[in-house]
Amino acid sequence: MSPLQFNHIVKVLDQMLRFESPSDVILSNWFREHRQLGSTDRHAIAEACFTCLRRLETLRALCAPKKPNSRNVLLAAMAKLWGTNLKECGDGLKEDEKIWLADVKGRAMPDGLAQRAELPQWVIDRMSDQDEDSILELGRGLMQSAPLDLRVNTLKGRRDEVLSRLIADGFDATVTPYSPLGIRLKGKPAINKHILFMQGVIEVQDEGSQLLGLITGARRSEMVVDFCAGAGGKTMLLGAQMHNSGRLYAFDVSEKRLSNLKPRLARSGLSNVHPTLIAHENDTRVKRLAGKAQRVLVDAPCSGMGTLRRNPDLKYRQSPDSVAELNVKQASILASASRMVAVGGRLVYATCSLLPQENMEIVNAFLAAHPDFSLVPASAVLAEMKIPLDTGDVLQLNPAIHQTDGFFAAVMTRNAATAAE
């Protein structure tokens, strides 16, 4: 680490540790403002900042008795995690810092569960469905850097052909173990410059996200709703499943997110997608589709705790209060979306969270209040699709086990005998 890199890391971390904005946004803005930084410096700054965020529970403990500010957090990481020569520090070390760091080097690593799993205590407290070993395994999985997964657009290519082309072009690529549409790349290559990406043959999409779309089970000529479409990764998968037929509604409350979907749709070749801006989950556009959709996917807004490999700051930008607020919104969105499901149709509730309060507790409460819906074992749905994965009655993806983001999904069906508006 050069003195230049050290000084930039301290300044970027200072902004990140306020937890007022997403860390990736802070980093992008910093690089935009400091265009003179080369690729080597940018890589070093990004890696150091995100490592500090991933290991923040440990680094905060190591900082004591000093304040865990950006400089001290970085110095503790250099001394204890990386074994860096502290002469590399930008402005030189003060005498009290030298004494403190000598002490840090001699200490044992903090051994509390929060530090070993690198999860705030409030998150651990909410994982009442897991024992300590499982939490520790999960936490260590979330500390790893996420791979780059691609989804092959089946309207434009076959996975085996795409894989061969990528390997021939020098990429270290393999098929994903579960999704029949996925390819995993080693490292973080700039795939958005590749001709296959620009032609819409491939899209960047985590394998777990691909599985959520697949278990929705969209078919030709159906009416399908992606209720919280966002930037549309799953929307495009559903459209390809439908072979570009039927009607696929992409609902979202964010005009910006739906605008970002349009160029992706143009690349994909899909013409059956209808991006639709709604004001809220009870919008009249939703009510007009009551009982008409064969498939409804609800990828609900959530804490994002399953994406900590990519967004390690989320565990500090969320809180028990924010999760409680999300629970109210999740229950309301699921109830509203369920009205669109036709008799015999499928409803999928999904999150990228690991917290039972956002997952099974929401589903159980919904099923108790809606006897016209019943749970379909996810294991049966996956087996029917010949996907070699069994996580029981619901899909629960664990980054430590499945090397995907931490997704949850429950598949439900609307029963003919009891369905009622």
Q: Which residues are catalytic?
A: 352
The residue behind tokens 């990406």 is: 197
Side-chain-facing half-sphere of 157: CA atoms under 13 Å: 25
Non-local CB neighbours of 248 within 8 Å, separated by 6+ positions: 218, 224, 225, 226, 235, 238, 239, 242, 270, 272, 273, 274
Chain centre distance of CA 118? 18
Let me know: does 211 contact 395? Beta carbons within 8 Å.
Answer: yes
Q: Report the SS3 class of residue 275.
A: strand
Q: Are strands 182-185 and 408-414 parallel, antiparallel or unpaired?
A: unpaired
Work out the number of other CB atoms within 10 angstroms of the CB of residue 253.
16
| Cβ-defined contacts of 274-278 (< 8 Å, 24+) | 274/247, 274/248, 274/249, 274/250, 275/229, 275/232, 275/250, 276/249, 276/250, 276/251, 276/252, 277/252, 277/253, 278/251, 278/252, 278/253
Query: CA 385 to CA 151: how far, in whole Å?
Result: 17
Let me know: does 71 contact 100? Beta carbons within 8 Å.
Answer: no
